[in-house]
Structure 1
Amino acid sequence: MKKLQTIQEVLTFINESHLAFLYVSQEDCSVCHSLRPKLIELLKNYSKIELREVEAEKVKEISAEYLVFSAPTLLFFVDGKEYIREGKFVQFKKLTESIEQIYSFEESQML
């Protein structure tokens, strides 16, 4: 997973990607480290979703720009608009259902 290093990279990624998934983590966060591989594996099923990671302590502006106050935080954007926000204790079944619903709708719109 590519890491974004500046708030400008984050903004560009979200605004230029049709389906953008942002994983906000922290280096000293054990939950972040255990969640990361699960998220990567889940998103392998959705080839059109672009996934990027940003470390909150390195890109401090992420808190103000997207109201992220804890890690991990998962943000899913469609055409720059936030559709999913999950934090701390992520329920993967619920997350998968939400992604599937949005992804299926987006796929049907592209036909």
Structure 2
Amino acid sequence: MSEHKEVEARYVDIEKNMEISSQMGIFSAPTVLVYMDGQLVARESGYFSLDALLGDIERYLELRK
């Protein structure tokens, strides 16, 4: 992700922030939500492929050009 300077990461402890978790539809950990330009561009829960997540981000960036 270091090559994508426009991507910012945030960590939310779902046990301490149950209201946010519920609003975002997060019911298991880990869950990764990637928002760009205010849009959800990738969502993965549980064990997932980092390549798949990066692929979703890169597809969005290509479409945005």
TM-score interval w.r.t. the shorter chain? 0.7 to 0.9
1:76 lines up with 2:25 in the alignment: no
Question: 1:63 is matched with which residue: 10, 17, 21?
Answer: 21
| Over 6 Å off, 4+ runs | none
Give deviations 1:61-106, integer Å, cap 9, x for gaps: 1222111000000001123222211010111121121111112333
Q: Which has the larger radius of gyration?
A: 1
- Mind listing any 5+ residue stretches in structure 2 that lack a counterpart? none
TM-score if structure 1 supplies the norm length? 0.53
Aligned amino acid, residue 51 of structure 1: A
State the Cα deviation string for residues 25-68 of structure 1 (Å, max 9, x = none). Answer: xxxxxxxxxxxxxxxxxx11101111111111111112221110
TM-score w.r.t. the length of structure 2 is: 0.84
Superposed CA RMSD in Å reads 1.4
Question: Which structure shows the higher strand fraction?
Answer: 1
**In the comparison of the two structures, how many residue pairs are matched?**
65
Q: State the match for 1:52 in structure 2.
A: 10
Unaligned runs of 5+ in 1: 1-42
Higher RCO (Cα < 8 Å, 6 or more apart)? 1
Identity of aligned residues (%): 32
Which structure: greater helix fraction?
Answer: 1
